A and B are shown apart, each in its own frame.
Chain A
Amino acid sequence: GQSLEQPSEVTAVEGAIVQINCTYQTSGFYGLSWYQQHDGGAPTFLSYNALDGLEETGRFSSFLSRSDSYGYLLLQELQMKDSASYFCAVRAADSWGKLQFGAGTQVVVTP
């Protein structure tokens, strides 16, 4: 089977840096995605890692280590609007079209 683990909540102040870790277990692996979801809103795509290393998109970066079955999302220069839930999601080799999501990390940004 497949499983993903990520922290349930992280709190930080504006301007700080937050790292959300995600560990996964899956039979075969294609890639790790990150999505952001504000309360009552639709999940929106942030990043995708298929290969080891760091992907940077503006204030957000995502990292993957395939050998460690581990990834993280780095949020820099936190802003109040970054308060949301963040989900890691795995695309497994035995289920090409299926995206399995973690339970999500609630990021709370305080002034």
Chain B
Amino acid sequence: DAGVTQSPTHLIKTRGQQVTLRCSPKSGHDTVSWYQQALGQGPQFIFQYYEEEERQRGNFPDRFSGHQFPNYSSELNVNALLLGDSALYLCASSLGTGVREQYFGPGTRLTVT
């Protein structure tokens, strides 16, 4: 049973560039949530996708956008990268939008220089 997978594992970008991160949910899950985790901090909720629509959004600017595909996989796009966007980006999947238990992927480490 495949767990949550994310790609790429590491990424280095320059300030002002755009980046796309990818996530495949755990088999049988239909909901994907994205989180940003700065070093030494807890994950911060970015948004949640269910039925190909953004259902909940955290306090992140419009530079952060996403998409969910019919196979439940998801993408996170960040435009106009800032140095402060450097973080670990985590994807979590669940069955339904209630977040009683989420399964996290290993994350994508993004470094903006």
CA distance A43 to B56 in the complex (A): 21
CA distance A26 to B99 in the complex (A): 16
- A101–B44 CB distance below 8 A: yes
CA distance A43 to B48 in the complex (A): 17
CA distance A95 to B43 in the complex (A): 16
Count how many chain B residues have C-beta atoms less than 8 Å from C-beta atoms of the other chain: 28
- A98–B58 CB distance below 8 A: yes
The proximity string for A residues 88-104 relative to B, scoring 1 for CB distances below 8 Å and 0 otherwise, is 01010001111111111
CA distance A45 to B100 in the complex (A): 9
CA distance A29 to B97 in the complex (A): 16
Partner of B100, one of A35, A48, A87: A48
Which residues of A, 59-103, contact B by the 8 Å Cβ criterion?
87, 89, 91, 95-103
Partner of A103, one of B33, B41, B97, B102: B41
- B58–A42 CB distance below 8 A: no
Within 8 Å CB of B92, what residues of A?
43
Residue B63, interface by CB 8 Å: no
How distant is A101 from chain B, measured CB to nearest CB, in Å? 3
Q: Assuming the A-B contacts A95-B56, A104-B41, are A43 and B90 also in contact, with contact meaning beta carbons closer than 8 angstroms in the complex?
A: yes
The proximity string for B residues 91-105 relative to A, scoring 1 for CB distances below 8 Å and 0 otherwise, is 010000111111111
Which residues of B, 57-113, contact A by the 8 Å Cβ criterion?
58, 90, 92, 97-107
- Range of interface residues on chain A? 20 to 34
Query: Which one of A31, A91, A101 has the highest number of Cβ atoms from chain B below 10 Å of its Cβ?
Result: A101
CA distance A97 to B46 in the complex (A): 11
Q: Assuming the A-B contacts A42-B90, A97-B48, A98-B58, are A33 and B106 also in contact, with contact meaning beta carbons closer than 8 angstroms in the complex?
A: no
Residue A44, interface by CB 8 Å: yes
CA distance A48 to B100 in the complex (A): 7
Within 8 Å CB of A30, what residues of B?
98
CA distance A31 to B104 in the complex (A): 19
Closest to A45 in B: B101
Which residues of A, 38-52, contact B by the 8 Å Cβ criterion?
41-45, 48, 50
Spell out B's residues near A (CB within 8 Å): 4, 31, 33, 35, 40-45, 48, 50, 55-56, 58, 90, 92, 97-107
